[in-house]
Homo-oligomer: A and B are copies of this chain.
């Protein structure tokens, strides 16, 4: 007992700020060492920049600069500039200096979800070099540009503003520049960063992205002048509900109303795709009076209601208005620009859903050109326009690609084939916590397979045609060999000039081959 008392007397219960939690657990957000941390910092900033532009219909213009300040001490300065909507000056301190603060806690497809990444980058910079983040930003038509330097007070989880300057914005610039000085290993991170930017350019062909670094310069000019339709903010789908969600929606919906709202009104006005008729059919099925006041539901009733909402078969599928797929045309452009293949087939499937979450699958197949020849199809995976570079082996797309018998589609390995899979969803079904591999949810797997097969059929037509063209060409070459001889024989027989026969024979062969091509409707120019 004496030992226990002594040990107990040393125990101290205390609260930890979210900033301190993530400072101590930086690996959770990928900031585990100077290589990963530098890669992660660049990713987070680029993804924020893309969200700040394309979510508002702006053609993104993103400039990434990496400066190695001290190679011995591994100190690197990262600067990312965009032409996005900027951040209201009153929000800047919290957006960069307070963990769990942001504008993305809504149902909508975006690259970032919690804005956690940028705070982690700020934390990592200040703990490794002691330097603040520098932010320069202006919103559209703003008359001032705001320049901030700030750090995070880790114990309090609050921003500490070191500097706030106002600069005249006579040119009406808008956008955001973020600058961080951190411990980072550029030579270790370079390859991953380059691959990341290349793949980002593929999936956002409407963006101009440049990278300047001590040893690599990349410049991806936009290949298209159309941004995909920005996603709208959606409502929760009844199939994805739990008690806590119900409780918080009821609290919000009831507050400030005189008459207690009814159950049917609550369902109609708070959930995705629930009209009055659907709501009433559901309530009948579930055994609830549509007119009962929602305030009178007990915890048991809420549990039962949530369960039945998840089980009910009669809901409309979630709509895809909160998603923002690329579209097959843009996807093809991106693939052509980066992989420069001789043939591309692409498709954007119709919206589908799993467990109340809408999703869209887009697939492209690229053949030949700069696609490397390999024993397996090269797989490029994307989720909500973010390239996934790790854990390919565990991904549902790899599984689908491997189970397809590519012989059916005239592909014989080794072959120059790349498969590009892009999944958009308000909730990507990631496997595990690394957020790099997508789980094999049956609905998602089915869509990916359907999309790949659809593209593969187009590829087969192309390869079949190519085969035929090749055999025609071979025939032409073979026949051509005899033209001279036949022409000579004919000229001897008829006494006419050999040259005339030669020309005529060549014409005949050409028109014969052309006719065959036309008959198959596969003239190259028409592809």
Contacts and interface: CB of A to CB of B under 8 A. Distances in A.
A291 interface: no
Interface stretch (A40-48, A300-308, A401-409): A300-308
A442 interface: no
Interface size class of A (residues with CB under 8 A): 35 or more
A430 interface: yes
Contacts of A8: 56, 85, 139-140
A312 interface: no
Contacts of A106: 12
A7 B128 contact: no
A126 B5 contact: no
Contact of A27 (B14, B154, B430): B430
A520 to B, nearest CB: 46
A244 interface: yes
Interface in A173-203: none
A476 interface: no
**Most chain B CB inside 10 Å of its own CB: which residue of A5, A95, A100, A140:** A100
A146 interface: no
Nearest to A106: B12
Interface in A193-240: 230, 233
* Chain A, interface SS category: loop
A21 B243 CA distance: 16
A27 B73 contact: no
Contact of A4 (B10, B14, B57, B154): B57
Given A18-B18, A243-B130, A433-B433, A103 B12 contact: yes
A166 interface: no
Interface in A9-26: 10-18, 20-21, 23, 25
A21 B100 contact: yes
B140 A100 contact: no
A131 B306 CA distance: 14
Contacts of A101: 13-16
Given A56-B7, A73-B307, A154-B248, A13 B102 contact: yes
Contacts of A18: 18, 21, 100
Interface string A136-147: 000111000000
Given A91-B13, A128-B242, A7 B100 contact: no
B155 A248 contact: yes
Contacts of A20: 100
Given A13-B103, A15-B101, A434-B433, A127 B4 contact: no
A58 B128 contact: no
A105 interface: yes
25 contacts: A3-B57, A4-B85, A5-B140, A8-B56, A11-B103, A12-B103, A13-B88, A14-B101, A14-B102, A15-B94, A15-B101, A16-B100, A16-B105, A17-B100, A18-B100, A20-B100, A21-B100, A25-B114, A28-B28, A127-B242, A127-B245, A130-B299, A155-B248, A432-B434, A433-B434
Given A4-B140, A8-B56, A25-B114, 20 more contacts: A1-B140, A1-B141, A3-B57, A3-B230, A4-B85, A7-B57, A10-B233, A12-B103, A13-B101, A13-B103, A15-B94, A15-B98, A16-B100, A18-B18, A21-B114, A73-B307, A126-B243, A128-B243, A129-B243, A433-B434
